[in-house]
Amino acid sequence: MTALTFPAKFDYLDEIRDFVGDQARASGFNERDIYSIQLAADEAATNIIEHACDGIPEASFELTCDFKKDRLVITFFDHGKSFDPSKVAQPDIKADLSDRKIGGLGIFLMRKLMDEVRYEITPSGNLLTLVKRKG
């Protein structure tokens, strides 16, 4: 299992995308799925940095990315603030320009791009799991 630790800073998003992208490519995903995987991972990491680790000095999180059987499983583990995903309003993608709310877009995209998105609050931290099955 390949596990990396990243400081909770946006500067590392490039590396995070490269890491999951390389794993996805090596596992035989097509270019469209590789992009989706990278985007989902970016949105996940961004939320951890922006929200979970907000205000926590020197915060970091752990990332794993492994191909098992027919699926890529990516996990993010942070030690920051937990949240309740069910309390995040879904963006109304049919609303017109002035009514369009921008919050919740990251979570919304993750759910659309990946086959499974699971969030668990554990005693030691928050575990986010993203799964993409090879088409």
Partner 1 sequence: MEVTIKEFKHCNMVSVTGRVDSATAPQFTQALDDQMDKGVFKLVVDMSALEYMSSAGFRALLAAQRNCKRYNRGEVFLAKVPDRIREALELAGFTELFKTFADPLEAVGNF
User: Residue numbers of the site for partner 1 (CB under 8 A)?
Assistant: 10-11, 13-14, 17, 31-32, 35, 38-39, 42-43, 46, 49-50, 91-94, 97-98, 100, 102, 105-106, 108-109, 112-113
Q: Which is nearer to partner 1, 14 or 70 (CB)?
A: 14
Query: From the CB of 10, what's the least distance to partner 1, in Å?
Result: 4
Sign of CA dihedral 60, 54, 24, 107: positive
CB of 24 to partner 1, least distance (A): 13
Q: Report the residue number, 83 or 108, with the smaller CB distance to partner 1.
A: 108
Minimum CB distance to partner 1 smaller for 1 or for 102: 102
Q: Are 71 and 132 in contact (CB under 8 A)?
A: yes
Dist CA 59 CA 66 (whole Å): 24
- Report the candidate in 31, 16, 30 with the shortest Cα–Cα distance to residue 65: 16
Closest to partner 1 by CB, 87 or 94: 94
Question: How far apart are CB 69 and partner 1 at their closest, in Å?
Answer: 26
Residue 6 CA from chain centroid, whole number: 13
Residue 39 tokens, joined: 């985007």
Q: In whole angstroms, what is the distance from residue 28 CA to residue 23 CA?
A: 9
Task: State the minimum distance, in angstroms, from the CB of residue 102 to partner 1.
Answer: 5
